[in-house]
Amino acid sequence: MRWIIKPKPDPKIVGKLSSELGVENTIAYLLAQRGIENFEQAKVFFRPQLTDLHNPYLMKDMDKAVARIKSAISEKQSILIYGDYDVDGTTSVALLANYLESKKVDVGTYIPDRFLEGYGISKKGIDYAYKSGYSLIIALDCGIKALDKVEYAKDIGIDFIICDHHLPGEKLPNAFAILDPKRPDCNYPFKGLCGCGVGFKLVQALGEHFNDSVGDLVDYLDLVATAIGADIVPVIGENRILAYHGLKVLNSNPRPGFEAIIQGLKKDVLSLTDVVFNIAPRINAAGRMKHADFAVTLLKTNKLSKAKSIAEDIENFNIERRSLESEITREALFKITAANDAKKSTTVVYNSEWNKGVIGIVASRLLEVYYRPTIVFTKSDEFLTASARSVKGFNIYNALENCREFIEQFGGHKYAAGLTIKPKNLNAFKNAFENEVKATLNKELKTPEIIIDTIIELDDLNPRFYRILKQFSPFGPQNPTPIFATESVVDTGNGRCVGKDEKHLKITVKKDESKSINAIGFGLGSKHSLVKNQAIFNMAYTLDENVWEGKASLQLSIKDIKIDE
């Protein structure tokens, strides 16, 4: 890994914060790195308030969207809530459907089948709405590029309200209202909302019509926090507020669907990281292996017994998903080796039999092995469909844009995207993508980087420091868990490899006359040779807590180990 130390903040600001807050310099240093310069800003950071959420009517078309929904309610029109099949989409659908149902509004829900309809708005979904008598569709976490589908709906008398957070194309759909903070003509102050976040802003605006304050909507924030974690959006600004209060709900009063999942996790307190690695994969498993309707039903139900039954089905889907993902990853790695593609700038693999529901996860696994822009294709009717993943610092969306002559359609973000091509274009696309990445991927981006907040001494680590550090959470993009480095440490002599296949490294470190502290490096068993025989090494790590037999002690979670050359 490339170690990159973050720039040092202004020492005057650090000193001022240390004095005003009564905290040690390192805490003040970390706050200043996050743009916090005074007591008031620190107060907002540590104690996010729902009252600091922006007025939802600052979002372009919010007034139109609310007016159309009010009209539908007064005219007793049925409303179809339409969402994507991932966590962001299913939580969005559950949120808006639950809220409108609580107001006795006639609503239905629709999630497209990943395998039969693919991503986004489908003609099948619109036809379903027409045959079922819906005159209004509210699309969540999708729709911003569905120009033809929205036009088709309009021609048969169905209005669309689009609530999306993806980048629009050159032209916007001809919808009744489009809520998307990323649309060029939208001046909404925070651009980083996920789809469920945009849905919550709509609920917040509707709340004014129903005389609900934002405090009355708190119980919906477990859904929003889960979507924020799963969709890897920045955990700053409004997202920090929503995630902070949503995690409180998840830990104190989760809806039955989440409670049914949480009961099997054996976690005392859930963090946003727990949401990402424990809750989100299970919600996603429904859409990957069967149908995302399972997830929506789970998240909407108010009966724990029903939730437990659905959660059991979803857990089985998740077990099946893990097995399938491992099998396809092995096959993909074999293909890369057999084709002698290991030295290329990209990974592009295809198998017509691979499950469409897990190719995104497989792409992430291949990225971990070869660390280069990766695309995994499978067959979908007469087309090939794919999931793309990128290395840090490289915009894969832009790379696809520059290969679009071989692509039927694509969409996504800087680091993750989906695309569809014709089978006859596969080789031409592979060559174009390889050439594009080769020409534009900077050499240093080919090596994984680790961003270190600051170099620190082991004696600076104590329970009070850790207690304050925990209050920097929820952690996520643009507010990551602080990573520290300590130089010239040694293992006290008990270092060993542990776990299945001895993949992990367990050591006890100290420096000079400092106190010793336990450390664990998951997946770092291969580094054992660097720390043997009292060798001096540098260590990058996060600060954690280990609880054993009821006793808590500080523990370092090692991210990398280096020897000075």
| pLDDT over 90 (residue 342) | no
pLDDT tier, 349 (very low <50, low <70, confident <90, very high otherwise): very high
Report the b/e string of 454-477 with b at 16+ CB within 10 A: bebebeebeeebeebbeebbbbbe
| Cβ-contact 141, 164 below 8 angstroms | yes
Q: Averaged over 86-95, what is the pLDDT?
A: 96
In a domain, 64, yes or no: yes
The predicted structure's pLDDT at residue 169: 86
Q: Are residues 211 and 108 in the same domain?
A: yes
> Is pLDDT of 413 > 90?
no
Per-residue confidence (pLDDT) for residue 206, from 0 to 100:
97
Same-domain check for residues 159 and 60: yes
Is the four-CA dihedral 506, 512, 513, 514 of positive or negative sign?
negative
**Is the per-residue pLDDT at 121 higher than 90?**
yes
Tell me the per-residue pLDDT of 424-449, one tens digit each, with 9 for 90 and over.
999 999 999 999 999 999 989 999 99
Distance between CA atoms of residues 279 and 232, nearest Å? 14
3-class secondary structure per residue, 231-257: CCCCCCHHHHHHHHHHHHHHHHCCCHH
**Residue 19 located in a structural domain:** no
pLDDT digits (tens, 9 = 90+) for 157-203: 999 999 999 989 889 999 999 999 999 999 999 999 999 999 999 99
DSSP-derived 3-state class of residue 260: helix
419, 446, 473 — which closes off a domain? 446
Mean per-residue pLDDT of the chain? 94
401 and 508 in a single domain? The answer is no
Residue (of 181, 195, 164, 178) closest to 95 by Cα position: 195
Q: With a cut of 80, say whether residue 341 has pLDDT above it.
A: no
pLDDT for the residue numbered 120? 87
Residues 375 and 458 in one domain: no
Shared-domain flag, residues 134 and 106: yes
pLDDT at residue number 509: 95
Per-residue pLDDT, 182: 96
Q: Do both 166 and 307 map to the same domain?
A: yes
In a domain, 328, yes or no: no
Residue 514 has pLDDT above 90, yes or no: no
One DSSP character per residue, 342-361 reads: TTSS-EEEE-TTS-TTTHHH
Both 304 and 226 in a single domain? yes
Token reading at 2? 């490339």
**Nearest-angstrom CA–CA distance, 389 and 365:** 10
Look up the CATH number of the domain holding residue 497.
2.40.50.460
Taking only Cα atoms into account, the Rg of the chain, rounded to an integer number of angstroms, comes to 25
More reliable by pLDDT, 343 or 229: 229
In a domain, 50, yes or no: no
User: 561 is in which domain, residue-wise?
Assistant: 450-565
Q: What confidence tens digit (pLDDT) does each residue in 24-55 have? A: 999 999 999 999 999 999 999 999 999 999 99
Residue 239's CB: how many other CB atoms inside 10 A?
Answer: 29
Cα dist from 351 to 290, 379, 423, whole Å: 20, 7, 11
Domain tally for the chain?
3
User: How many CA atoms, within 13 angstroms, populate the side-chain half-sphere of residue 373?
Assistant: 28
Whether 346 and 383 share a structural domain = yes
The pLDDT value recorded for residue 305 is 96
d(CA 334, CA 306): 43
Describe the chain by its helix, strand, coil percentages, rounded to 5. Answer: 45, 20, 35
Do 433 and 454 have their domain in common?
A: no
What is the mean pLDDT of the segment spanning 402-424? 91
127: domain CATH number is 3.90.1640.30
322 pLDDT more than 90? yes
Q: Give the span between the Cα atoms of 397 and 102, in whole angstroms.
A: 39
| 252-280 confidence digits (pLDDT tens) | 999 999 999 999 887 888 999 999 999 99
Task: Please tell me whether residues 433 and 474 are part of one structural domain.
Answer: no
Q: Which percentage of the chain shows pLDDT scores above 70?
A: 100
Q: Do 260 and 388 belong to one domain?
A: no
- Residues 511, 399, single domain; the answer is no
pLDDT bin (cut points 50, 70, 90) of residue 118 is: confident
pLDDT band at 522 (very low <50, low <70, confident <90, very high): very high
